[in-house]
Structure 1
Amino acid sequence: MKKVAVALHATDEFDINSVVHLKTLDYIHVDVMDGIFVNNTMLNLEVFKQLSNAFTIPIIAHLMVTNPQQYIEKIYEYTTAIFFHYEVEMDKSSIIRAIRKFDRKIGMVLNPPTPISEIIPFLKELDFVLVMGVHPGWSGQTFIPNTISKVKELATYKDQYSFEIDVDGGVNLENARKLIYADILSSSSTILKATNPNEVINSLRNT
């Protein structure tokens, strides 16, 4: 059985009342964007505090930013795990150490063009690997089909290393059934736009 996360945005428009009814989630996934690493800006870090006060569900911070270390200390107390992108132009090991300093779980994110082979040297340090199913920055994009084969390839390393595979971007009930090697499915539109979001969460979990 898969775990399910709702992907939310750290925007000024965020309304906690729009998500408090989502009680069947395994994780809450919050996107932070600096407008540089991706062409969108979501920097309302108060969202983490609001969610932490409203939920006991673990919170994941997904940092789509050029300098992840700039944000770690500001949000760690509200999170269970902090994810950063392999593609940042910083020393990855130093970011991992910065997250570990605050005793948080560590996730590395792969953009669609990045091959699995690039992150093999880091797998021993990671609790999660998130495979992007779309190019980061905007919700509602179409799922990129070769994400499925990337997840399958990544899963071959799970016997050797201890990490969970998360997929984010374009996830819906149809492609979720093909993501048989994923441990976590992160979805925004599929859950938030559903007539019965908790029913969709349970359906995703059982794909």
Structure 2
Amino acid sequence: MLPPRLSQALLATVLLILPAVTAEQAMATPVKTERIQVAPPEEDAPLVPEIPADAIETEIAPPSTERHAPVVDESAPPPVVHYGDADLPKPVARMRDQMLEAAYSGDIERMRLVLEANEVMPTLTFGDMDDPIEFLKESSGDPDGYEILAILTELLEAGWVHVDVGTAQEMYVWPYFARYPFAKLTPQQKVEMYRIVTAGDFAEMESYGAWIFYRIGIGPDGTLHYFVAGD
């Protein structure tokens, strides 16, 4: 039998060694792991969930308008030119009368009533526009819009043509020079034209190959589609 002090010393030594052995055993003991496999996505599966077509808001485009100055075929027979409103359909004649009445009043705000009563806002510019009347004033040579109203009367009092008959672009166009071959203009027609534009304006348009001054287009149903200048 060991002496008491030796027994106690031996017990203390065992207690000191035991935790270290246990730790080494724990480190040496392999940890059981399990590999989890994730199935790859299907080749045709979209990365982003598809949104139903009926859930996407779409903007309805207005009726097609003359977005650019039309290039007239110089080899084609010139269109028939009309004057006044005798040969116009009633809806077209009514819109022309409303525009003339507003223009001759000298109050450009009268044009707001005509534009707002229209089926769609007509094309007044190929750029951005906030308020149509303010835009017309800014386009005029004076702050009150008198010049643009005068141009409007000159256009609607000039001859007109009926173009693109039977198509979605069918239109009554003022002045007829916008759809008339320049090379086929008679001396009398050129005098009519110079009541609206200057010789310098015409020379520029002739070199460009299209009428780029103001023009008006009214559909057969009386809808004003454009009162615009430019190309």
Q: Which has the higher contact order (CA 8 A, sep 6+)?
A: 2
**Which of structures 1 and 2 has the bigger CA Rg?**
2
Q: Please indicate the TM-score interval, normalised by the length of the shorter structure.
A: under 0.3
More strand by share: 1
Q: What is the TM-score of this pair, normalised by structure 2?
A: 0.25
Q: What is the TM-score of this pair, normalised by structure 1?
A: 0.27
